[in-house]
Amino acid sequence: MSIKYTPSTLKKFEELYEEIGFRIRFEKGNFQSGYCLIQDRRIAVINKFLTLEGRINALIDILPSIEFDMERLSTDGKHFYEMAMALPTTNK
């Protein structure tokens, strides 16, 4: 399965994280992996200098490590989450 790296896809990931209860911030920083998770505040900080593809890949990498209630997701959110979880990541 593959994913299209478009601004629309990034927007879908941002909406999914919002449904999960995580905020995404694109900030300047020296993150070895391109992102930083602040679990107790439910914030994902993504390096703002990453390309569109890098931002989407960082969000895909983070997704498996987030604990949340699947009941919070809309039907579209559940479908997109399942599709995203089927994608290969560098952290699996």
- How far is Cα of residue 21 from the mean position of the Cα atoms in its chain? 12
- Looking at the structure of the chain, the number of domains it has is 1
Give mean pLDDT, residues 31-36: 81
Residue 75 in domain: yes
Whole-number Å distance between alpha carbons of 21 and 15: 10
Domain assignment present for 11: yes
Check residue 32 and give its pLDDT.
76
CA 47 to chain centre: 13
65-74: buried (b, 16+ CB within 10 Å) or exposed (e) per residue?
eeeeeeeebe
Full domain range(s) for residue 14: 7-85
Beta bridge partners of 47: 27
In a domain, 91, yes or no: no
- Residue 60 included in any domain: yes
Please check the confidence at residue 23 and state whether its pLDDT lies above 80: yes
Task: Please report, as a single letter, which amino acid is at residue 90.
Answer: T
Whether 2 is covered by a domain: the verdict is: no
Predicted local distance difference test score (pLDDT) of residue 6 = 95
pLDDT tens per residue across span 34-90: 888 888 899 999 999 899 999 999 999 999 989 888 888 999 999 999 999 888 765
Mean pLDDT of 17-34: 88
Using left for φ > 0, alpha for ψ between -120 and 50, and beta otherwise, residue 19 falls in alpha
Whether residue 17 lies inside any domain: the answer is: yes
